[in-house]
Amino acid sequence: MIYVDCDSTLILYDGTHDPVTGAKGWRPNDHLVWCLNWYLEMYPQGVTVWSGGGSAYAAQRARDAGLTQPPRYFTRSKAPALVTPWDVVIDDELEFKTPAQIHLTPEEAIIWFLTVGLTPAW
Ligand SMILES: [Mg+2]
């Protein structure tokens, strides 16, 4: 399973973002969304989106980003209990620890997708 964060991962901000009141100045992380949509074509159950703002917010931000709708969303605080060592986590906050052995920044994730992430083994 690939777990993906929303803010500053699926959605990028240009500095005017107010995390409390909303989303001015945001744009989709088009390269990452493109990679994830490619992955979802092959593995429709293979992506989960999370956010510290909760599952409903995660679903809304995934739609905003143009992500093909994955089946699962949840609030990020549940991640340590749900993520396994064999999962991949894509999150701008690498200090957020989960059991996954692979934690990638959005930039690293794009490189990962273009190298190992889209091979048949995955
Ligand atoms: Mg984030």
Does any domain span residue 120? no
Q: How many domains does the chain have?
A: 1
Does any domain span residue 101? yes
Give me the domain span that covers residue 105: 2-115
Rounded Cα–Cα distance for residues 32 and 82 (Å): 23
Q: Are 53 and 7 in contact (CB under 8 A)?
A: yes
pLDDT in tens, 64-110: 999 998 889 999 998 888 999 999 999 999 888 899 999 999 999 99
Protein residues with C-beta less than 5 angstroms from the ion ligand 1:
5, 7-9, 92
Cα(22) to centroid of ligand 1, in Å? Answer: 14
Structure tokens at 37: 């949509």
Rounded Cα–Cα distance for residues 30 and 2 (Å): 17
Rounded Cα–Cα distance for residues 89 and 56 (Å): 19
Mean pLDDT of the chain: 87
For residue 119, the model assigns a pLDDT of 56
Does any domain span residue 107? yes
Structure tokens at 23: 């989303």
CATH number for the domain spanning 109: value is 3.40.50
